Structure 1
Amino acid sequence: MNFIRRGIKSITRTQLETSKFGFYLLTPIAIMYWVGLDTDRKFNLPGFWPDPSTLNQVPKEPHEIQAELARIKRARLEKRKRLEEKAKELGLLEEKEKEEEEERQKQQQGGVVAEAST
């Protein structure tokens, strides 16, 4: 204990500040070095990331993009029809709204046919 007291008393303010600076500077560097070494072994969680074959693949070719857009439009139309039928069963749509919806659908279908022909 006496040895430590003698060592502390013999350290000057400059030496103390220099050692503090070195500690503050080297501690984050040492932590980053430790974390950066062999990260596969330290932070590997088997089964955490899904297999690439099971993920959705983004279409890149023009025909793939058109097919995907057509699939999305079909799914949206089916969902709309299903929700409208459910609303009709529950009596949420009035006759006037039903007619307007039918007219809009006819116009949209006519627009889709016109776009497809051009």
Structure 2
Amino acid sequence: MTPQEENLGELHVALMYLPTAEKLSVILLSAKNLRPIEGAKRNIEIFAKITLMHDGRPLKKTKTSGKASDLSPVFNETFVFDVPVYQLDKVYFSFAIIGVDKVRKHLCM
């Protein structure tokens, strides 16, 4: 199975753009059916990294607050980015779900 075919779970996201203020909002609702972290037993903190991208380069990075060990975490967090109307069709988002083993102190997802 190639990495593209591997099921890593689902990410539920909503987008909203306010043209008068040139604000692009990303609402990260939840993740569902995440793949279990190999070798992790417990004390895993899950969070999401969100990167606003333009021409393959990051413009702004942010992350959610951490959630306790859960393969279907609920985030319900909103992030607002300044994006002029003329750039709206040129930007995109990159999302990463990260698990931190609080005992071993390293990234493990």
Same fold (TM over 0.5): no
Task: Tell me: higher relative CO, structure 1 or 2? Use CA pairs within 8 A at least 6 residues apart.
Answer: 2
More helix by share: 1
TM-score range, shorter chain: under 0.3
More strand by share: 2
Radius of gyration: which is bigger?
1
TM-score by length of 1: 0.18
